[in-house]
Structure 1
Amino acid sequence: MIAAPPAIVELYIPVLLGLGLLILLVAWLPLVLKEWPLSLPIVCVGIGAGLFSIPRFQPFAIHPIETPFMVEKAAELIVLVSLMGAGLKIARPLSWWGWRPCWRMLGIAMPLTIVALTLLGAGLLGVGLSTALLLAASLAPTDPVLASDVQIEKPGSDSDDEARFTLTSEAGLNDALAFPFVHLAIAAAAGGWTWVTMGWWVLDDVVFRLAVGAIAGVAGGWLLGWIVYRLPGETRLSRTGDGFVALGATLVIYALTELAHGYGFLAVFIAGLMLNRAAATDVFNDRLHDFADETERLLMMVMLVMFGGMLSAGGLLALVRWSDVVFALIAVFLVRPLVGWISLAGLRRSPLERGAIAFFGIRGLGSVFYFAYGINHGQFDQPTRLWGAIALVILISILLHGTTVTPVMRRLDRQREVDA
């Protein structure tokens, strides 16, 4: 008979107590914080940093440097659930004209952000070009998890204004579109910046994988929509009323797309859009979204508490240098707002809307996933040191955007009411 370690036996009940309290906080805190310039992520990170500062709990903190695979997979799961939820929220038909702000953020803002952060990382942090590109690609996409406060609230919501729609659709699509640049960094780190490397990257990581992801998302979303809403009589899946169908659909579509060598993130988001369009007025669509949203918030809570532990007991803040501080401040306060504002130039939107879209380029758990994925699949210089820079950017983003989201979005709502 193998006995459990004494530390685990001793802390089992306290951990259950803490987990139960955190779950209750996830449900209760949004009601309390609704009137305050705070957000649930700020509270979760603070709890994690404080909890894992206690010597008894320090051995249970996640160390991304020692366990990058665990960090990658944990962040991957929450991003997946968040992408399905984002797709289920959007009722606006996909079109070139109706999605113009989103296309601009994807086609202009994200590439400019990657270029700017790559040059900044190489020049300021003193790392190689491929490592700087990995850092930039990890920080370029708007996080679909932590950006939920600036997104459409739920399917058919009255808050489907241009700012919320753009931030929701951008967060849903730019995770997949950042992946080719992560793969380019991995390929360049292994084979150098040669024409062969670039050519293979374009054919495989850009054209083929994006095409497979898009096709799998459309086909998988259509098939699921038919099974859920169109099967005859008692056999249609919507009659179960089980919201966990959203989680099953997410995992199946993602896994099949990855097995087909496509981008599963793209497929999951598109499948969410297709499911929404299959029966947008069906109450089961709301049930699917609500389950995905609740699951996302629970996973987010756990991951952010662990992220707080990474900052304290995990030693990430101890890795931060002054050059990392400068890099993080420029990335959050200058690069994203500036390229976002430039990308939206010429659109007939108010300065407040353009400013909100440009400013709320929230960095979070998606960045953790991409950086962990990169160092798990490639050879990069100073990956340990760059964990500090990644963590600092995320922490600043959580604090800055978490304290400003409530007043800014309220002002947007007031402006919309006046314009109406």
Structure 2
Amino acid sequence: MSQGWEPDAYIVALTAAGILIALVVWLPLALSRRPISLPIVCLIIGGLISATGYVAIDLSPQAHPYITERLSEFVVIVALMGAGLKIDRVFSFREWQLTWRLLLITMPLSIAAIMVVGVSVLGLSAVSALLLAASLAPTDPVLAADIQVGGPLDGGEDTVRFALTSEAGLNDGLAFPFVHLAIALSLSARTGEPWLAEWITYNVLWETAAGVVCGWLVGRLFGWLTFRMPGDTLAKTGDGLVAIAATFVSYGVSEMLHCYGFFAVFVTALTLRAAHRNHDFQRDMHDITEQIERITMMVLLLAFGGAIAGGLLAGIGWRDVLAAAVILLAIRPLAGLLGMHGSAATRGEKVSIAFFGIRGVGSVYYVSYAINHGDFSDGNRLWAILCLVVLFSILIHGLTVTPAMRWLDRSHGRRV
């Protein structure tokens, strides 16, 4: 008697992994000239898979808080290494002045404005609004691939792409003190313990400064091992996995020293790139980080699309939609323009930089980290609002980035 055809779950997973890797290779090429981004396609595929009913588990981030935190953390640190390796411009305070404007003016203004919206429009407590603001203020290094600079030594590092790449590399670490402030306030409200002195001395001063120093030291070490060591350097292997090793060591050591690992990884990447700026092995290291980043990003976005199809945003109301639109279409653009006021960038460049402040995987990590380590009673509401903003960002920015960047290239006489 026939038992019917029921495929083994492992075989199905293996087949799905093969299809995913094939899509990782093919989709960027297929979408390069079309006004639709890879993240949008991933959301659609994830939603369709969920709609079939074959995946019977709850894919919402709040159902798997630890996995959400760790997977998003992994994607971000690999993306930060890739972002640092691809920047051709030599690090200097003068050459990076647009970056400093975005970090020191645009980001604090964004946090303050989003916090006001969180309290007045969304009805969140001040602490939850602060967490939401700190999570949504940074430009995401993962979903911004279409507006970042090209690979190492590719050239064409224009003002817009450089500003957004360098901003995304550094503002993830800069947001962490505000996330920790929200965590400290949430715990203090329950225990009554003082928080201000520890937050300033430890979370702001120590973790920031130590993260930069740790990243520089690890970058110097791997730079020497890769390009300068007498005899057989790591560059002679031709194996770009060196970059992944540097990512893990930098992040792991910095976290063991209780400092900001996001800062450390990006600084390590910049230092490793500076060790031998024009070596062809820089491309090998960048390429492997990009491939791993893309695979893990697609897994995360497939789950996100499935969670949306499964009712993740079921409780969203008109106030939430209004707040999300204001955050993406008013707060970030206005804060960006204010931050760049008086800079040498053209009007078109300023508008593009201000508009394309993409929110994504980094925001997911911050909220998951804070909820796992703090005391937020409205965690489900925070997740719904955050995911709505991320969804809007993926759709709005994903549909406009290709035509916008092509127009910008044409207007500046660059090859499209």
Pairing 1:286–2:283 present = yes
| Partner residue, 2:399 | 403
Amino acid at match of 2:36: L
Amino acid at match of 1:40: L
Q: Distance in 2 between matches of 1:8 and 1:243?
A: 40
Pairing 1:392–2:385 present = no
Shift of 1:100: 0.7
Q: Deviations over 1:218-261 (max 9, x none)?
A: 11101110011111122x11111111111111011100001001
| Partner residue, 1:352 | 348
Contact 1:128 1:381 in 2 (8 A): no
Map 1:228-267 to 2 at 5 A: 228-234=226-232, 236-267=233-264
1:41 alignment partner, one of 39, 42, 54 = 39
Shift of 1:9: 6.3
| Partner residue, 1:307 | 304
Shift of 1:179: 0.4
Q: Distance in 1 between matches of 2:18 and 2:377?
A: 41
Shift of 1:8: 9.9
Amino acid at match of 1:283: D
CA RMSD of aligned residues (A): 1.9
Pairing 1:367–2:363 present = yes
Q: Deviations over 1:25-52 (max 9, x none)?
A: 1211112212210011100011001101
Q: Distance in 1 between matches of 2:180 and 2:299?
A: 28
Q: From the superposition, tell whether residues 165 and 190 of structure 1 become closer, same or farther in structure 2 (CA, over 3 Å).
A: same
Q: From the superposition, tell whether residues 8 and 283 of structure 1 become closer, same or farther in structure 2 (CA, over 3 Å).
A: farther
2:203 alignment partner, one of 205, 221, 229 = 205
Amino acid at match of 1:312: A
1:337 alignment partner, one of 329, 333, 337 = 333
Compute the TM-score of the two structures, normalised by the length of structure 2. Answer: 0.95
| Partner residue, 1:4 | none
| Partner residue, 1:72 | 69
| Partner residue, 1:134 | 131
Shift of 1:199: 2.5
Pairing 1:110–2:122 present = no
Map 1:24-103 to 2 at 5 A: 24-59=22-57, 61-103=58-100
Q: Distance in 1 between matches of 2:44 and 2:255?
A: 35
SS in 1 for 2:117: helix
Q: Distance in 2 between matches of 1:36 and 1:418?
A: 19
Q: Distance in 2 between matches of 1:204 and 1:304?
A: 34
Contact 2:135 2:367 in 1 (8 A): yes
Q: Distance in 2 between matches of 1:358 and 1:99?
A: 16
Amino acid at match of 1:361: G
Contact 1:87 1:272 in 2 (8 A): yes
Amino acid at match of 1:292: T
| Partner residue, 1:3 | none
Q: Distance in 2 between matches of 1:411 and 1:309?
A: 34
Shift of 1:207: 0.4
Q: Distance in 2 between matches of 1:343 and 1:295?
A: 33
Shift of 1:407: 0.9
Q: Which moved more, 1:193-202 or 1:204-213?
A: 193-202
Q: Distance in 2 between matches of 1:334 and 1:58?
A: 39
Q: From the superposition, tell whether residues 221 and 18 of structure 1 become closer, same or farther in structure 2 (CA, over 3 Å).
A: same
Q: Distance in 2 between matches of 1:293 and 1:55?
A: 32
Equivalent pairs counted in the alignment come to 411
Amino acid at match of 2:225: I
Amino acid at match of 1:398: I
Amino acid at match of 1:377: H
Q: Distance in 1 between matches of 2:96 and 2:410?
A: 23
SS in 1 for 2:62: coil
Shift of 1:195: 11
Contact 2:46 2:302 in 1 (8 A): yes
2:411 alignment partner, one of 400, 412, 415 = 415
Q: Distance in 2 between matches of 1:281 and 1:386?
A: 45
Shift of 1:91: 2.1
Contact 2:128 2:382 in 1 (8 A): no
Q: Deviations over 1:380-401 (max 9, x none)?
A: 1311122111111001100111
Amino acid at match of 2:75: I
Task: Provide structure 1 residue ranges, at least 5 long, that are not aligned to the other structure.
Answer: 1-6
Using the aligned pairs only, state the percent identity. 47
| Partner residue, 2:373 | 377
SS in 2 for 1:233: coil
Q: Distance in 1 between matches of 2:314 and 2:189?
A: 32
Contact 1:143 1:367 in 2 (8 A): yes
Contact 2:60 2:304 in 1 (8 A): no
Shift of 1:22: 2.0
Q: Which moved more, 1:151-160 or 1:76-85?
A: 151-160
Compute the TM-score of the two structures, normalised by the length of structure 1. Answer: 0.94
Contact 1:114 1:137 in 2 (8 A): yes
| Partner residue, 1:217 | 215
Contact 1:127 1:381 in 2 (8 A): no
Amino acid at match of 2:355: F
Task: Provide structure 2 residue ranges, at least 5 long, that are not aligned to the other structure.
Answer: none
Q: Distance in 1 between matches of 2:6 and 2:380?
A: 29
| Partner residue, 1:122 | 119
SS in 2 for 1:348: coil
Shift of 1:23: 1.5
SS in 2 for 1:53: helix
Pairing 1:171–2:156 present = no
SS in 2 for 1:144: coil
